[in-house]
């Protein structure tokens, strides 16, 4: 799980870097892992913390010891969902007005999920 998290976060960061130095840097990144979540790099970070908790649970069999390792993933998850993610969305809306449309299309703040336009396409084909 931790390996997946590092790979996912690396892919998200690499895609963002390539977008920023590319010719379309003035547009909102809306491809790759960024089409499934507005903040996929945060998802990778959050998944890493949950993986560390699971690993600690496997290493330490003492229930009380494991509970201390639960604090990190809970705090990181709460920070991403209620502070960092919403703050970044507000910042992007001020910086780029078209970000509001991206938010409506890509509803998932952190966890990768289907976009609204993809859901509508799937319903049309059924």
The pLDDT confidence band at residue 59, using thresholds 50, 70 and 90, is: confident
Segment (H or E) for 41: helix 40-59
* Mean pLDDT estimate for the chain: 88
pLDDT of residue 126: 59
Q: Specify the higher pLDDT residue, 56 or 62.
A: 56
Q: Is the pLDDT of residue 121 over 70?
A: no
pLDDT of residue 70: 87
pLDDT in tens, 6-31: 999 999 999 999 999 999 999 999 99
**Closest listed residue to residue 5, CA positions, set 67, 63, 76, 60:** 76
Q: What is the DSSP letter of 29?
A: P
pLDDT of residue 73: 93
Q: Is the pLDDT of residue 123 over 70?
A: no
Contacts of 60 (CB under 8 A, 6+ apart): 66, 69
Distance in angstroms (rounded) separating the CA atoms of residues 102 and 47: 24
Q: Is the pLDDT of residue 119 over 60?
A: no
């Amino acid at each position: 799980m931790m390996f997946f998290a590092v790979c996912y976060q690396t892919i998200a960061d690499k895609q963002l870097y390539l977008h920023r130095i590319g010719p379309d840097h003035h547009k909102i990144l809306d491809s790759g892992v960024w089409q499934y979540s507005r903040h996929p790099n945060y998802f990778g970070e959050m998944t890493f913390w949950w993986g560390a908790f699971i690993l600690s649970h496997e290493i330490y069999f003492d229930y009380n010891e494991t509970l201390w390792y639960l604090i990190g993933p809970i705090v990181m998850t709460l920070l991403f969902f209620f502070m960092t993610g919403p703050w970044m969305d507000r910042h992007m809306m001020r910086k780029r007005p078209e970000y509001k449309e991206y938010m409506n299309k890509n509803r998932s703040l952190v966890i990768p999920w289907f976009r609204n336009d993809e859901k509508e396409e799937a319903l049309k084909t059924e």
